[in-house]
Structure 1
Amino acid sequence: MLKKAFSLILASSVVVSVAACSSETNENGGTSTSTVPKSEASKKIEKIYSYANGGQVSQTKISKPEDLELVKQAIIDKIGIEVVPIIPPKGTEGEKLNILLASNEPLDVFLAGKIPDFQSKGALLPLNDLLDKYGNNIKQLWPKNWADSWDAVSTADKKIWGIPRLPAIAGNTVYLRKDWLSKVGMQMPTTIDELENVLKTFKEKDPSGSGQTIPLLTTLAGLNSSLAAGFMGTGYGNWIDTDNKVKPAVMHPGYKEFITKMADWYQKGYIYKEAFSAKNERIVELIKQNRAAVYAGWYSTLAGNESALKQNDANAKYEVAVDLKGPKGSVTSMGGIDVSGWAISKNSKNPEAVMKYINWLHSDIENYFLAFYGIEGKHWQYVDEKNHVLETLNTDYAGELVLGSTFAYTVQFETKDPVNAPQFDYMRKYITNTNRAAMPGDAKEAYKYDNVAINQQVPALSDLNRMMEEEVTKFIMGARPISEYDKFLQELNKAGMDKWIEAYTAQNMKIKGTKG
């Protein structure tokens, strides 16, 4: 589910700019209204080698040679930089990248899934000076309220090792069938009690017909990330107790209250009976079959299949329960702070050109569209230029020349596609809206934890994680009574939870200490 959603994010995060005017990068990283003359660009062409693992080429196909050359030359004419893409081999992308980094083969820039992992191995070049000299547009593009993302690609000495790609996002949410609410004469719920009454009504009124209505279609992960925060007062995940120790969600008093409510809903038939065993394919099938009244989970599972649903019911319309609150506030949880980013290899022969090129791409929407979609009129065209809505004409050019994909653009454009439209709508309106979502208690530190050390200190880590998931499922399904919840916590302690708490708390305090 996450993989599918991030594929859309990755594919869409490279094509929109804050600037609407046509501008180019000057030597100091600023912008001007003129392009590089062809004659001048042809005299001095800088070449950079890019591992093409951060654009649509890794998800579709490679370009036709003649189309790739057309786009490459168009970019050379504008900026005087030639991008040489290295195509990742399907299925062994990571292995190939490691080989390139360890060899003498040319490699300048790549998308690092975890910046800290590559930095700790000495594979990266610090970017501070390059950003200061050539990266003005890059720094301006990233919203100030996403500043944690820069911290995530930096070390304690303030050295920056990557250009961030994703902020913390709230991809899980609660959707309701707006048309069915109207059908049964109800409003969008804003409290848990109101949501429960909606579920009860949907079960009784059966808007799908023939007893096929599923009041709440979800999974355990969907429930946790879409609703638990409303009972906990913090995002689902680790939290800081009053004793300043890091503890797992299952030990939060509010989580027990949440599980109690979910168990009650399951017993009443509101929650899909196979919620804790169904694969994503089954969830998608039920959405398409016009059976889900309310959905709680990852947004694209629902939004990406709304167009298929409309083939069965043209009036079907889902809406996000944006104002839904629990006893302790927002029901939605933010994900952790992302540590991926665009990195320059320590062995890069031309790091200045890499930064100039990414900065140029970040300066103008037309530059992004050229690198990602190709030549306007040949590979793509505008449907609504003012609102950055476009449609592709073909896939003869697959986007090998785009670098620096960033979510700061994803929320500002759209492709004309009934499948993608609801997903873009969610991303623009909700996915980074921190006013409607809560961060986990240790989110500010968690992305810097030494997970290798934690695994060494907690031999039973995987067993504890499995035990928490299995027992919570039993409580919700009624296979184990809620009256045994405290006993369950005692069982966790016997299984090694004390070491878990000790290890995570030590990491948390260490990070806070480095922050001063």
Structure 2
Amino acid sequence: MVLQKRLHAAIVCKLLVALLLAGCGSNGPKESGSASPAAVPTASEQGDETEGSKEQLPPVELTYYYVGTPQKDLPLVEAEMNKILKKKINATIKLKLIDWGSYDQKMNVMIAAGDEMDLMFTAPWSNNYYQNVEKNALLPLDDLLDKYAPRLKATVPAYVWDATRIRGKIYGAINWQIIAMQYGFDMREDLADKYGLDMDKVNKYDELEPFLDKLAAGEPGVTPLSYVNNYDIFNGQAPYFGMDTIGDDASPGWLYLDDSETRVINQYASPEYEQFVRLMHKWHEKGFFRKDNASITDNTADTKAGRYGGSLAATVAPGVESTVFLRFGVHKKFKALSPALVTTGRAIATMTGISATSKNPERAMMFLELINTDKELYNLLCHGIEGKHYVFVDKEKGVIGMPEGITPETNGYAPGTDWMFGNQFNGYYISEADVGNWEKTQQLNESAVRSPLLGFNFNPEPVKAELAQASTVIKQYHNSLVSGSVDPDKFLPEFLEKLKSAGADKVVAEKQKQIDAWKSAK
């Protein structure tokens, strides 16, 4: 997913929307929904059952809000999904796909207005999970998972569920996929070969500069690096800088992964931040980015058209090359520049939540159970309709390709965001070269280093005012700095001074206090 927010997410290895939140328990109207939990069979109990068992469930329509690139044939896919859902849980679903540039704003407006909805994609980086919990926009899911999604609950390791917990409760259903993320860069394969990029010799970003110089001089129609302002290429890849985030990725207060004393620091005042924004400014001045990059919210069309060489902060995982080709029709090479690391942020990078305004949280959880366990339903949402949007290249191995005459540009349904829904290990392979990548990914998850803060979730309430003030300052300065479009000699000192006045030091101190208490209680 190099569309940064989605490319990086897509590249990140296909994360998906699975943060769903549902009522915890059967007491109270919000938590019990429209049907009594005691009277509603679980999704597992429903299965392909008879009409008699299905009749125990009244018909309902669910709404599912998530982010992505608009798909012409979405109504056709929705109709096919509803045939399965009607049979198994007597429900239908309305797929509310919102484009990348508008999703956060539209969800904020809907949540603030108390609009009725059932399921929503939520993550620390999109439709902010932590903020949604603090706004009481999501239902706790613990009891709903136990009763209506036992297979989903059992599939995901306990330590990953623990990473979702806020004040002891689970508010997001994990989209199970790669959680051991590596960060680095990607580059168009044809350009890497043409200008002699030796991927093995690049171990940090500044070592790309000689190649980017050649690219800028030799390809006047190509911008060497893409950038979108709704994907944060600093805060979105903390492990590359040897750090881990605490709470909202962009909020002041990270820690160094190799610090045995787990001391919290202000990442914006770190040497790593200063060096990075200086490098970005240098590259911006050399023409490696578009001059208006700080205002770009979507680079999908330009990426598909081959107008970019590559991107920074790409998430690297087994099979990412195929995912990117499916989405953009461009062959890219990827290089990881950080080790495989499981952090709280990565563990909960893609979730589906159940809205606090849902009238049918039990049925919403049944849907989540199905999208995680029913391969037909999952692959419908991810890849569309067999024969129209894909064909089997090798059915026995689960390898698919595009129908004859269809390309990523002309396909009516090719979202390329299977990481956003359910259990990705139930997905088809999109290239014969990818066969076996699910096993490799699971091995990577199991063998990766775990952050010392894995499972810790920050409670922002004691510094709510300071966080809001700091957020305003960050929005004013950070994107301009990290995009390279302003001079850090002038704007970095201003940024740090205003952050301090906003209460950043108090936020850092509160994070330290909570981490110390968490460590003492372990």
Fold-level similarity (TM above 0.5): yes
Change (3 A) 1:36 1:319: same
Residue aligning to 1:51? 63
CA contact (8 A) 1:168 1:335 kept: no
- Determine the C-alpha separation between the residues in 2 that align with 1:123 and 1:309: 34
Instruction: Give structure 2 stretches of 5+ with no counterpart.
Output: 19-39
- SS for the counterpart of 2:472 is helix
Residue aligning to 1:234? 243
Measure how far apart 1:83 and its partner are.
0.7
Residue aligning to 1:82? 90
Residue aligning to 2:24? none
Within the candidate set 126, 148, 156, 2:167 is matched to 156
- Determine the C-alpha separation between the residues in 1 that align with 2:139 and 2:236: 39
Residue 242 of structure 2 aligns to which amino acid in structure 1? G
- Determine the C-alpha separation between the residues in 1 that align with 2:190 and 2:348: 36
1:36 aligned to 2:53?
A: no
Measure how far apart 1:126 and its partner are.
4.2
Change (3 A) 1:84 1:94: farther
Residue aligning to 2:312? 296
Greater C-alpha radius of gyration: 1
- Determine the C-alpha separation between the residues in 2 that align with 1:57 and 1:494: 36
Residue 149 of structure 2 aligns to which amino acid in structure 1? G
1:505 aligned to 2:509?
A: yes
- Determine the C-alpha separation between the residues in 2 that align with 1:8 and 1:201: 25
Alignment of 1:275-290 (within 5 A): 277=294, 279=296, 285=302, 288=305
Measure how far apart 1:123 and its partner are.
6.5
Change (3 A) 1:201 1:149: closer
- SS for the counterpart of 2:333 is strand
Change (3 A) 1:94 1:50: farther
- Determine the C-alpha separation between the residues in 2 that align with 1:354 and 1:125: 11
Measure how far apart 1:496 and its partner are.
2.5
Measure how far apart 1:48 and its partner are.
3.7
Measure how far apart 1:502 and its partner are.
1.4
CA contact (8 A) 1:216 1:270 kept: no
Residue aligning to 1:200? 210
- SS for the counterpart of 2:49 is coil
- SS for the counterpart of 1:52 is strand
Change (3 A) 1:258 1:430: farther
Change (3 A) 1:93 1:390: farther
Change (3 A) 1:346 1:273: closer
Measure how far apart 1:225 and its partner are.
6.0
1:366 aligned to 2:383?
A: no
Residue 251 of structure 1 aligns to which amino acid in structure 2? A
Within the candidate set 116, 139, 143, 2:153 is matched to 139
Alignment of 1:56-455 (within 5 A): 63=75, 72-77=82-87, 79=88, 81-85=89-93, 113=127, 126-142=140-156, 144=157, 149-157=160-168, 159-165=169-175, 173-183=184-194, 187-192=198-203, 199-200=209-210, 203=213, 209=218, 224=234, 230=240, 232-234=241-243, 238-240=253-255, 246-258=264-276, 269=286, 271-272=288-289, 274=291, 277=294, 279=296, 285=302, 288=305, 292=309, 295-298=311-314, 317-322=331-336, 324=337, 338=348, 341-344=351-354, 352-369=362-379, 382-385=392-395, 386-389=397-400, 406=421, 408-409=423-424, 412-414=427-429, 445=456, 448-450=458-460, 453-455=463-465
Alignment of 1:18-37 (within 5 A): 35-37=48-50
Change (3 A) 1:98 1:389: farther
CA contact (8 A) 2:10 2:323 kept: no
- Determine the C-alpha separation between the residues in 2 that align with 1:229 and 1:192: 14
CA contact (8 A) 2:42 2:147 kept: yes
- Determine the C-alpha separation between the residues in 2 that align with 1:165 and 1:291: 30
- SS for the counterpart of 1:413 is coil
CA contact (8 A) 2:470 2:502 kept: no
Post-superposition CA distance 1:296-349 (Å, at most 9, x none):
245699998868998xxxxx8531123x46xxx789999666487444567877
CA contact (8 A) 1:135 1:356 kept: yes
CA contact (8 A) 1:53 1:88 kept: yes
Post-superposition CA distance 1:474-495 (Å, at most 9, x none):
7x976739xx98xx38x83476
- Determine the C-alpha separation between the residues in 1 that align with 2:375 and 2:5: 27
CA contact (8 A) 1:287 1:302 kept: no
Change (3 A) 1:98 1:320: same
Measure how far apart 1:138 and its partner are.
0.6
Residue 93 of structure 2 aligns to which amino acid in structure 1? P
Post-superposition CA distance 1:20-51 (Å, at most 9, x none):
xxxxxx9677689x8424x5456544434412
Change (3 A) 1:63 1:467: closer
- Determine the C-alpha separation between the residues in 1 that align with 2:361 and 2:388: 32
- Determine the C-alpha separation between the residues in 2 that align with 1:183 and 1:14: 37
- Determine the C-alpha separation between the residues in 1 that align with 2:135 and 2:381: 31
RMSD of Structure 2 on Structure 1 (CA): 6.1
Measure how far apart 1:174 and its partner are.
0.9
- SS for the counterpart of 1:480 is helix
- SS for the counterpart of 1:362 is helix
- Determine the C-alpha separation between the residues in 1 that align with 2:183 and 2:163: 22
- Determine the C-alpha separation between the residues in 2 that align with 1:424 and 1:275: 40
CA contact (8 A) 1:169 1:432 kept: no
TM-score, scaled to structure 2: 0.61
- Determine the C-alpha separation between the residues in 2 that align with 1:70 and 1:469: 41
Measure how far apart 1:125 and its partner are.
5.2
CA contact (8 A) 1:240 1:246 kept: yes
Change (3 A) 1:148 1:200: same
TM-score, scaled to structure 1: 0.62
Measure how far apart 1:506 and its partner are.
0.7
Residue 312 of structure 2 aligns to which amino acid in structure 1? A
CA contact (8 A) 1:50 1:109 kept: yes
Post-superposition CA distance 1:93-142 (Å, at most 9, x none):
6666777777xxxx766656456656556676543344334422112333
Instruction: Give structure 1 stretches of 5+ with no counterpart.
Output: 16-25, 311-315
CA contact (8 A) 1:246 1:442 kept: no
How many residues of Structure 1 are paired with residues of Structure 2 in the alignment?
464
CA contact (8 A) 1:461 1:500 kept: no
